[in-house]
Structure 1
Amino acid sequence: MSPIHVRRAKLDDTQAISALFRSRVSVWQRLKSDGRVEDLPYEALTIYERWLHGGAAYSNAWMSVETGAIFLSHLLRGFGLPLVATLDGTVHGYAEAYPGSEPAPFGKHLHLSHLVTISENEDLSAALIEALTTYARDLSIERVTVAVSNYDTQAAAFYKRYGMQPLSRVRRYTLPAQTGQSFYKVTEHRSADPAQIEGWQMSIGRIESARQHWATLWPRLWEAV
């Protein structure tokens, strides 16, 4: 097999990265006004309808080349670390990580949010993880973290092979809500500088990392969508 080369992603890679994410969607659908769902070709959906297929994995932006280009440009301006793995110059894998600093037990870390390869090729995954750990080591980052669902034993075993061990467990709670009335004032926050959340931790609702939430959920980034 040709040698695997890992490098930082560039805007020209948007089409290939989007294709990797879209390959994981088995059915493209539209929710009709009467509540029924219809299966449609990808090309028949609007950008927003494609966006909805990203699900809870924060991969919405990669469902279209248009939104993928916006998001990749956002990452390349310093909001995250996008890496691609290539074979013979063609992109076959993608990793997306976010450097962050949170209270213990996370500390200064590099959080891996996406690891996508063609045909789930483990050699590509290994090359991307090795590149991430090298990046973290060069910047004196204490650890590389990743979120794994409790039921996903296969993913847990996969990351264990690369030396990753359980660090923290997130529990799900259902709380009763009480009807009430409150008033609040909204002030527009224009600065997207992630330095503002240095040392912050999402103690409630934490699924990925505080830095990833900050980078992916920034409202002004998706006003056009």
Structure 2
Amino acid sequence: MGPDEYLFLLAGLKWTVALSAIGFFFGGIAGLLVALARTSELRVVERITAGYIGVFQGTPLLMQLFVVYYGLALIGLKLDAWVAVSIGLTLHASAYLGEIWRGAIEAVPKGQTEAAKALSLNYTSRMRDVVLPQAFRISLPATIGFLVQLIKGTSLAAIVGFTELTRAGNMISNQIFQPLLVFGIVGALYFIMCCPLTLYGAHLERKFAKSAR
């Protein structure tokens, strides 16, 4: 392993972080809409979003990335690899975050919503000022846990030939024939990214559990 190999790994790490951020940010926006639709009390909307969640939770992320990249190309929509992966991760994240946040919204005591209605707050005000702040607090540990899974899931971008951290490590390993060294470094980089988030999520979970007693 020379300087060039380390720089190549760092370039792959940059794309891993970028893909994680894109998938989590846009998936979070879409996931909030999914969560609101799932709790809208409109049966048709709830069934449609339940089906959407079922599709993405019931199929592997690897297949979803494959379909977005190669499937869309079959109908004439050829996307760059990073765009396809970003779309795939966003759709995947929106389904999981939507379900996490749906559970958090439903976990907010009904008395809070009833009190907001008694104060004549409209739906937007009830959700923005009363329900969502409490739901966000409830969902934070699970949301952080999903972010950790999303970071590791970016390694599947190699299926469409995108060079993120794992594929960069595989390319270097094929050149220098030292897989244990290379993937040991790759694993350490993933650990550095994921371990603090995991510990922080566990800390929040313990903190919220104590405050609920």
In the superposition, the TM-score normalised over structure 1's length comes to 0.23
Bigger CA radius of gyration: 2
> 1 or 2, which has the higher strand percentage?
1
